[in-house]
Amino acid sequence: MPAGKAWHTRGELISNRHMLNLLDRISDRVWETAGTIFGLSACVFIAIQLYHEWLNEMPSSLSWFHLVGFTFVYLFWFFYGLRFRHIGVWLPNAVATFLQAMLLICVAIKNIG
């Protein structure tokens, strides 16, 4: 594919500038709403994992690196969203940080305590 080009749905080449113009036509409110909905929807998967870990009495097989790493990733994006005042970033990441921290605590209690 030539540099600076992207595929159109009909297989035609369109410029990246044209694609950005299409994205710019979508209002900030729509982006914030979509970001909030998709971000909170993704939190459902963390909640499912937390629920599974809570019910399962066996030691967890989840990686400490994964648990701690994602807690900090979500925390970073929470602060990023606060800094730039994007509810579509900070709200889902606040929920994700809380859920991931609860998952971390749950696994720690199961594996250590």
pLDDT at 18: 77
What pTM was computed for the model? 0.81
85-93 average pLDDT score: 97
pLDDT value at residue 46: 98
Q: Which helix (DSSP H) or strand (DSSP E) does residue 28 occupy?
A: helix 28-55
Tens digit of each residue's pLDDT (9 = 90 or more) over 48-64 = 999 999 999 999 999 99
Q: Which residues contact 53 (CB under 8 A, 6 or more apart)?
A: 60, 62, 103, 106, 107, 110
Rounded Cα distance between 2 and 24, Å, is 23
Domains contained in the chain, CATH given: 27-111 (1.20.1280.290)
Choose among 82, 10, 70: nearest CA to 43.
70
